[in-house]
């Protein structure tokens, strides 16, 4: 069995601390806890780390295609490593959840999240696991684009970081027991 966990975000220092990079930030923390380093896989337009957990191969992937084209990186990797979409988990920001709230789902529509929309389009399926990390709705008349491409204000920074910790705890639990439904029951 081989699993792939993808964190969605935008590459580059300019976007590192933005709300849209919650998937990247969570995946960085997971990679650190698993003691693995990312290497650029140019043919796949991604940073990829790999290891074994409980005898199963695990790939951690950060697409370098920018959020709205994430599927262009994910689909070829799934095909190359012969990974079923049921063994794919995508971690990403969620505009429709309060800051720091983590929700897990096994399938469904994009919910307006363009990175997920791209993954669905390129993978050709909505049946893959998702870990949604809440970033809240825009405040004070701010546009959605400006909201997702800005950092958290001081009152939300710690709550957002707690969401990242919870998302990583959920992924570690999932990797230990191999059952996403059980992980959903524990962390939702």
Cα distances (angstroms) measured from residue 181 to each of 106, 130, 177 = 8, 12, 10
Does 114 belong to an annotated binding site? Answer: yes
Q: How far apart are CA 130 and CA 152, in angstroms?
A: 22
Does 68 belong to an annotated binding site? Answer: yes
Question: Do the Cβ atoms of 120 and 78 come closer than 8 Å?
Answer: no
Answer yes or no: 20 catalytic: yes
From 20, 92, 122, 140, active-site residue: 20
Is residue 179 classed as helix, strand or coil in its secondary structure?
coil
Q: In this structure, how many other beta carbons lie within 10 angstroms of the beta carbon of residue 137?
A: 13
Does 66 belong to an annotated binding site? Answer: yes
Question: Do the Cβ atoms of 74 and 123 come closer than 8 Å?
Answer: yes
Active site residues: 20
Q: Which residues are annotated as a binding site for tRNA?
A: 15, 66, 68, 114
Q: Which residues are annotated as a binding site?
A: 15, 66, 68, 114
């Amino acid at each position: 069995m081989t699993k792939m966990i993808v964190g969605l975000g935008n590459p580059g220092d300019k976007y590192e601390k933005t709300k849209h990079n919650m998937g990247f930030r969570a995946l960085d923390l997971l990679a650190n806890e698993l003691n693995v380093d990312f290497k650029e896989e140019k043919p796949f337009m991604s940073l990829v780390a790999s290891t074994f957990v409980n005898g199963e191969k695990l790939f951690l992937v950060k697409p370098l295609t920018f959020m709205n084209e994430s599927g262009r990186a994910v689909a070829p990797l799934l095909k190359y490593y012969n990974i079923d979409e049921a063994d794919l988990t995508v971690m990403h920001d969620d505009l429709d959840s309060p800051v720091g709230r983590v929700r897990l789902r096994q399938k469904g529509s994009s919910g307006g999240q363009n990175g997920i929309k791209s993954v669905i389009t390129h993978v050709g399926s909505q049946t893959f696991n998702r870990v949604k990390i809440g970033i809240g709705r825009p405040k004070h008349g701010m546009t959605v684009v400006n909201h997702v491409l800005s950092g958290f204000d001081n009152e939300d920074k710690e709550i957002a970081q707690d969401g990242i910790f919870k998302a990583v705890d959920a992924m570690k639990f999932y990797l230990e027991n191999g059952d996403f439904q059980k992980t959903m029951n524990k962390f939702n």
